Amino acid sequence: MEQNQFILVADIGGTNGRFAVAGRPGNDIVLSHQATLPSSGADSLLTLTRQYLGQLPPALSLSGACLAVAGPVNEQGARLTNLGWDVVIAQMQAELELPRLLLLNDFAAYANSVPLLADADIRQIKAGEPQTSAPVLVLGPGTGFGISSLQPQGNGYRPVACEGGHMALAACNELQDAVVRELRKVHGFVSVETILCGPGLVNLYRALAAVKQQIPVFDCAADISCAALDGSNPLADETLSLFCRWLGQTVGDLVMAHGALGGVVLGGGILPRMLDFLKASEFIEGMLDKGRMSAYLQSVPVSLAMKSDTALTGAAAWWCHNA
């Protein structure tokens, strides 16, 4: 992005679409005209984007757009998994009359922003000794479960997206076996995202209630989390504890799959609100419980990014390196 050039950037998730205009008056990326629109208020990415563009000053000239979307992206377009929207880059670029349009996975954009975070925005969850030549894994629960790796490239990193949130959920003990059986009754295929996200926390709570033969009293993830964090409901506490251990198990699996000995950065919108609970949980035990491969994971550091709204900056940075 050249100085005095402005582009449209967006982070489109299953719940909201966040938009901004990105500029680079100096070396830093500056965002302006930020707005959040409900994804449910549109029938396509084109419609949602037009809603935002209609709010901008008519005199503002855009050199292009870089949109981060929640779903798999290829050279031709993207599929927004939780919205069911299909996007063809060439068609959307023509409809919006933009000189250039780039798409990337939303969690790849988020991962792309992680190296730009200040030290004050990072909390350590597990100490370790990262290998600087190895990938860094960035993942976390939000509306879904996002995963991206940062591959070392020159003096920096290049984000590589994947769809690991949709891989099968692995059960490692009898309780987890029983929970997965309950989940399978409702969902058929049980993926990581079935439990490790906001809606997934509700799924986990209901399945655990069925296993424990208890009556669930909460209907939303926020109520379950609050009841667990304030200690007012034992089933909610056990649900969130199981959530954290299962998250650790999944992190360990993904580190081994990606060779991510450069470390792990947790993100997403859920974990920063439960930092102390996470640190006191069995997250690390779950991560390291890998039999003879436990030593492989022992030196991998894990941190938590406290800011979950930086994908717009990551999208602008992607434009700077790829436009």
Distance from CA of residue 74 to its chain's centroid? Answer: 19
pLDDT for 150 beyond 80: yes
Measure the N-to-C terminal CA separation of the chain; round to a whole number of Å.
8
Q: Quick check: 191 and 223 in contact, CB under 8 A?
A: no
| Amino acid type, 87 | V
**Number of Cα atoms under 13 Å in the Cβ half of residue 134:** 18
Q: Quick check: 241 and 109 in contact, CB under 8 A?
A: no
Q: Quick check: 121 and 137 in contact, CB under 8 A?
A: no
Query: What confidence score (pLDDT) does residue 155 get?
Result: 87
What percent of the chain stands above pLDDT 70?
98
pLDDT for 184 beyond 70: yes
Q: What is the pLDDT of residues 252-299, one digit of tens each?
A: 999 999 999 999 999 988 999 999 999 999 999 999 999 999 999 999
Pick from 161, 225, 171: nearest CA to 194:
171
**Cβ atoms within 10 A of the Cβ of 256, count?**
15
Q: Quick check: 140 and 165 in contact, CB under 8 A?
A: no
Q: Kindly state the average pLDDT of the residues 135-142.
A: 95
Between 5 and 151, the higher pLDDT residue: 151
pLDDT for 172 beyond 90: yes
SS3 169: coil
Between 68 and 142, the higher pLDDT residue: 68
Q: What is the pLDDT of residues 51-95, one digit of tens each?
A: 999 999 999 999 999 999 989 999 999 999 889 999 999 999 999
SS3 125: strand
Q: What is the pLDDT of residues 118-134, one digit of tens each?
A: 999 999 999 999 999 99
Q: What is the pTM of this model?
A: 0.90
* CA distances (Å), origin 83, targets 16, 80, 253: 11, 6, 28
Q: Kindly state the average pLDDT of the residues 129-143.
A: 95
Using DSSP bridges, classify how beta strands 264-266 and 136-141 pair: parallel, antiparallel or unpaired. parallel
Query: What confidence score (pLDDT) does residue 3 get?
Result: 64
Average pLDDT, the chain: 95
Question: Alpha-carbon distance 88 to 272, whole Å?
Answer: 35
Between 318 and 144, the higher pLDDT residue: 318
Question: Alpha-carbon distance 111 to 101, whole Å?
Answer: 20
pLDDT for 25 beyond 80: no
Using DSSP bridges, classify how beta strands 145-153 and 136-141 pair: parallel, antiparallel or unpaired. antiparallel
Query: What confidence score (pLDDT) does residue 167 get?
Result: 97
SS3 226: helix
Query: What confidence score (pLDDT) does residue 2 get?
Result: 63
Domains of the chain: 6-112+309-322 (3.30.420.40), 118-306 (3.40.367.20)
Query: What confidence score (pLDDT) does residue 282 get?
Result: 98
Query: What confidence score (pLDDT) does residue 1 get?
Result: 61
